[in-house]
């Protein structure tokens, strides 16, 4: 696992060094219900390039947050899933989603052209789905 260095010793800084950025929280959120294949993640997230998805998954794997399982099949199959440490981020990710929904609704009141419900729809996976 990659060793983290925090110059200030701030726990928030450490957290952001692991899961910060545009794509990592979104990837983690979509892995909450259970394992996903690379292509499935790309389709669900949308807007992320294959290269960026690969890099972000690799960093999350190095941090011990995501595990990659390769199956000896033809064609090869690779699944990504949260580790136990990754699953411990569920309350944080759910809180981020809920905050984003509330913020979007407040923003929508100020900006009538913005559809808060539509913008949050892509971040509403079935979290009750059985984790595999």
Render each residue's pLDDT in the chain as its tens digit; 132 residues: 455 555 777 888 888 889 998 999 999 999 999 999 999 999 999 999 999 999 999 999 999 999 999 999 998 899 999 999 999 999 999 999 999 999 988 877 766 544 444 444 556 555 554 444
Q: Which two tokens stand for residue 100?
A: 């984003």
Is the Cβ–Cβ distance between 19 and 65 less than 8 Å? yes
Domains along the chain with CATH numbers: 11-123 (1.10.10.10)
Is the Cβ–Cβ distance between 8 and 17 less than 8 Å? no
DSSP element (H, E) containing 54: helix 50-62
């Amino acid at each position: 696992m990659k060793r983290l260095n925090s110059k200030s010793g701030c726990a928030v800084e450490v957290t952001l060094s692991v899961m910060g950025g545009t794509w990592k929280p979104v990837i983690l959120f979509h892995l909450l219900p259970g394992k996903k294949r690379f292509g499935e993640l790309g389709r669900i997230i949308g807007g992320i390039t294959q290269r960026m998805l690969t890099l972000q998954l690799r960093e999350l794997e190095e941090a011990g947050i995501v595990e990659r399982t390769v199956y000896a099949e033809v064609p090869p199959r690779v699944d990504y899933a949260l580790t136990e440490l990754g699953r411990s981020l569920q309350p944080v990710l759910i809180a981020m989603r809920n905050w984003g929904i509330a913020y979007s609704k407040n923003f929508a009141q100020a900006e009538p052209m913005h559809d808060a419900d539509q913008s949050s729809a892509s971040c509403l996976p079935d979290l009750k789905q059985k984790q595999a």
